[in-house]
């Protein structure tokens, strides 16, 4: 109902043609709130972004900028629902392997050229082209676009990619397998259009502010590496009249405590809250400290490969260790940022995912500890024969705190000796990827909002399955879920098996924990992927 009202309001407004300038000192067209004169949004990023080339970008802060500069076929709204972008809509054939998108006539590049289906064809071919060697080429493979895998492998020509411009405003995509959630994947930056003429003229330097041409709500006007990047309103954007924020500034601040200080001094509108500081900040600034669930998990994985420790081959041992972890201590005392405790691998926030009733979640911690002791004794470990192993994590203060808490819980409750070892990030990835560990930290953020983005990690042949967990039934269920119209019960069964066999110890699910200036309107806290668009934000008058 709400949604219907909102949509019709939006339609009404776009028909009355309000200009951008009218917002500046005025009121918000939908909510009627008074708007600030200065519509500049300034936020902190942890690190310099890798690129603003849509087909090349591979980091979160880069993707955030790309989502403002470019616009793909579809966008997400504040709740993560699919809404039209450059495409006004799409049709799909009965076998769900040919999608046809219709592009809006008024979509333009920042130099005034129309956005055509050919721009998408160029971009998508570019993404799989071995010559560009995009680090996100695999995403096109994941989208099951016809011949994508063959082109990446060098066994087919780029021109064989299953994407075609029927005419300037009609794009046809052929898939190698039916994919019900294909349109959702077109909100990902890898699929955004690219300006062929500009790229051919400037080569790798086309993304510099003086050269770049883009089709999103903003254009890049300034980039000082390791310091700041600035994007400003794109007057050519088809929905420019409904865009309120004029200017977005991303400041690179490596240290989160310095970022917090600068936020408190009024230099930033948004920054992350360092672990453990949320309760204090919430008390001092109740309107500004916010926490909401995100689409990421945090876990420890057992090494179940042949080279892994013998003790972990026994499911009782694994389950005992998982049971003895008091998640509430981690989420409430160590992190204290409103993170949900985790008893399943996929977060509850995942769309269409019902958290199964795993037994552990409904027990009290005392009951869990009791069962853990029994299971471990059953496996043959006790005071005379204590279980010992090494747990590794990548060097970072927060990971260390969690690891220390875990090892203490195991020591006190079960008499287990867990030796801590930390490694520099790349060393850690290399060692974990080669199964040179006993118990290792892991974390995963969803590539798209569907449970398979997490559960696929536990598929026996997944490249991300560092623990080498292997269960034929899990593989079967996950394969079935790919083409199923209702995969939810299949995912639930996978989670039940995982809870039983415990190849991983889920610890918590992430929360977005931010200081957000109370004059920032419409931050999409309900978008669990945190795909935010500056064009949907606004600044309120103080």
Partner 1 sequence: MLAYSVRRLLVAIPTILLLIVACFFLMHVAPGGPFTSERPLPPQVLANIEARYGLDQPLWKQLWDYLYNIVVHFDFGPSFKFKDRDVNDIIAQGFPISLTYGSLSFLFATAVGVSLGIAAAIRHNTWIDYFAVGLGIAAQALPNFIMGPILILTFTLWLGWLPGGGWHGGQWQYLVMPVIALATSYMGSIARITRSSMLEVLNSNFIRTARAKGLPTRTVIWRHALKPTLLPVVSYLGPVFVYVLTGSVFVDIYFSTGGLGQAYVGSALSRDYAVLLGVTILYGALTVIVNLLTDLAYAWFDPKIRY
Report which of 191, 187, 195 is spatially closest to residue 236, judged by C-alpha positions: 195
Query: Strand 228-233 vs strand 247-252: parallel, antiparallel, or unpaired?
Result: antiparallel
Asked if 131 is part of the footprint of partner 1 (rule: CB under 8 A), the reply reads: yes
Verify binding: residue 425, partner 1, rule CB under 8 A.
yes
CA distance 524 to 67: 14
Please count the other Cβ atoms lying within 10 Å of the Cβ belonging to residue 181. Answer: 15
> Is residue 434 classed exposed, middle or buried when 0-12, 13-18 and 19+ CB atoms within 10 A define those classes?
exposed
Q: Could you tell me the smallest distance in angstroms from the CB atom of residue 523 to partner 1?
A: 23
Q: What is the CA radius of gyration of the chain?
A: 25
Q: Which of 17, 265, 366, 472 is close enough to bind partner 1 by CB under 8 A? A: 265
Interface with partner 1, residue 112, by CB under 8 A: no
Size of the site for partner 1 (CB under 8 A): 52
Q: How many other β-carbons are positioned within 10 Å of the β-carbon of residue 79? A: 13
Q: CA-to-CA distance for 366 and 359, rounded, in angstroms?
A: 14
**Quick one: which segment of 8-16, 224-232, 401-409, 414-422 binds partner 1 (CB under 8 A)?**
224-232
Distance, in Å, from the CA atom of 43 to the CA atom of 96, rounded to the nearest integer, reads 41
How far the first Cα of the chain sits from its last, in Å, is: 31
Say whether residue 133 binds partner 1 (CB under 8 A). yes
Considering beta carbons, is residue 53 or 326 the nearer one to partner 1?
53
Residue 89 CA: distances (Å) to CA of 54, 86, 117, 267: 22, 9, 13, 40
430 binds partner 1 (CB under 8 A): yes
Strand 388-394 and strand 439-445: pairing?
parallel
- Min separation Cβ 241 and partner 1, Å: 32
In the chain, DSSP finds a helix count (H) and a strand count (E) of 19, 18
Starting from the edge strand earliest in sequence, which strands make up the sheet with 98-103, in order? 87-92, 98-103, 170-174, 163-167
Name the residue nearer to partner 1 (CB basis): 250 or 323: 250
**Stretch binding partner 1 (CB under 8 A), from 203-211, 319-327, 358-366, 402-410:** 203-211
From the CB of 465, what's the least distance to partner 1, in Å? 10
Q: Binding to partner 1 (CB under 8 A): which residues in 144-163?
A: 152-154
- Quote the CA–CA distance of 390 and 341 in Å, as a whole number: 24
Please state the closest distance from residue 203 (CB atom) to partner 1, in A: 9
The verdict on 71 binding partner 1 (CB under 8 A) reads no
**Using the rule CB under 8 A, is 227 a contact of partner 1?**
yes
Site for partner 1 contains 289 (CB under 8 A): no
- Between CA 117 and CA 510 the distance in angstroms is 38
- Choosing from 10, 158, 264, 358, the residue that interacts with partner 1 (CB under 8 A) is 264
Provide the minimum distance between the beta carbon of 531 and partner 1 in the complex, in angstroms, as a whole number: 18
Closest to partner 1 by CB, 52 or 336: 52
Question: Binding partner 1 by CB under 8 A: which of 81, 100, 196, 261?
Answer: 261
Angle of CA points 393, 397, 400, to nearest 5°: 40
- Calpha distance 279→432 (Å, rounded): 34
Tell me, residue by residue from 30 to 59, as one string, x for binding to partner 1 by CB under 8 A and - for no binding: -----------------xx-xxxx--x-x-
Q: Is position 397 an interface residue for partner 1 (rule: CB under 8 A)? A: no
Write out the residues near partner 1 by the rule CB under 8 A.
Answer: 47-48, 50-53, 56, 58, 130-131, 133-135, 137-138, 141, 152-154, 204-208, 224-228, 251-255, 257-258, 261-262, 264-265, 267, 424-427, 429-431, 433, 443, 463-464
């Amino acid at each position: 109902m709400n949604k219907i009202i909102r949509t019709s309001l939006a339609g009404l407004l776009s028909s009355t043609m309000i200009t951008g300038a009218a917002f500046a000192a005025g009121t918000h067209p939908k909510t009627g709130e008074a708007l600030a004169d200065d519509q500049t949004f300034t936020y902190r990023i942890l690190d310099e972004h890798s690129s603003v080339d849509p087909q090349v970008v591979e980091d979160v802060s880069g993707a955030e900028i790309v989502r403002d500069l470019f616009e793909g076929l579809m966008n997400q709204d504040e709740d993560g629902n699919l809404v039209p972008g450059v495409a006004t809509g799409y049709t799909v054939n009965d076998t769900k392997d040919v999608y046809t998108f219709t592009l809006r006539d008024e979509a333009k590049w920042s130099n005034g050229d129309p956005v055509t289906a050919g721009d998408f064809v160029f971009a998508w071919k570019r993404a799989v082209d071995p010559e560009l060697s995009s680090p996100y080429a695999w995403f096109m493979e994941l989208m099951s676009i016809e011949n994508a895998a063959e082109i990446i492998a060098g066994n087919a020509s780029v021109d064989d990619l299953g994407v075609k411009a029927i005419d300037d405003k009609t794009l046809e995509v052929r898939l190698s397998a039916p994919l019900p959630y294909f349109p959702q994947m077109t909100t990902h930056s890898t699929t955004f259009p690219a300006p062929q003429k500009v790229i051919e003229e400037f080569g790798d330097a086309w993304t510099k502010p003086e050269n770049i041409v883009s089709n999103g709500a903003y254009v890049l006007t300034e980039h000082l590496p390791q310091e700041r990047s600035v994007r400003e309103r794109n007057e050519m954007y088809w929905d420019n009249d409904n865009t309120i924020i004029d200017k977005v500034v991303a400041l690179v601040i490596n240290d989160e405590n310095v970022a917090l200080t600068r936020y408190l001094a009024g230099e930033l509108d948004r920054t992350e809250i360092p672990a453990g500081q949320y309760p204090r900040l919430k008390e001092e600034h109740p309107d500004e400290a916010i926490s909401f669930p995100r689409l990421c998990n945090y876990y420890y994985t057992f090494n179940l490969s042949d080279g892994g420790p013998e003790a972990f081959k026994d499911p009782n041992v694994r389950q005992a260790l998982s049971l003895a972890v008091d998640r509430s201590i981690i989420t409430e005392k160590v992190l204290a940022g409103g993170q949900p405790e985790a008893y399943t691998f996929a977060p509850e926030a995942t769309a269409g995912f019902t958290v199964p009733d795993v037994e552990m979640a409904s027990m009290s911690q005392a009951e869990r500890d009791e069962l853990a002791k029994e299971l471990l004794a059953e496996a043959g470990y006790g005071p005379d024969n204590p279980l010992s192993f090494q747990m590794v994590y990548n060097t970072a203060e927060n990971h260390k705190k969690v690891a220390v808490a875990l090892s203490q819980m195991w020591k006190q409750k079960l008499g287990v000796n867990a030796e801590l070892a930390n490694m520099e990030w790349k060393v850690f990835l290399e060692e974990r990827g080669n199964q040179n560990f006993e118990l290792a930290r892991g974390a995963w953020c969803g590539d798209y909002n569907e449970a398979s983005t997490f559960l696929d990690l536990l598929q026996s042949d997944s490249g991300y399955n560092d623990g080498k967990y292997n269960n034929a039934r899990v593989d079967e269920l996950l394969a079935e879920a790919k083409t199923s119209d209702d995969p939810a019960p299949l995912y639930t069964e996978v989670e039940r098996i995982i809870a039983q066999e415990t190849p991983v110890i889920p610890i918590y699910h992430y929360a977005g924990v931010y200081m957000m200036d109370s004059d920032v309107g419409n931050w999409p806290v309900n978008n669990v992927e945190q795909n935010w668009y500056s064009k949907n934000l606004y600044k309120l008058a103080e």
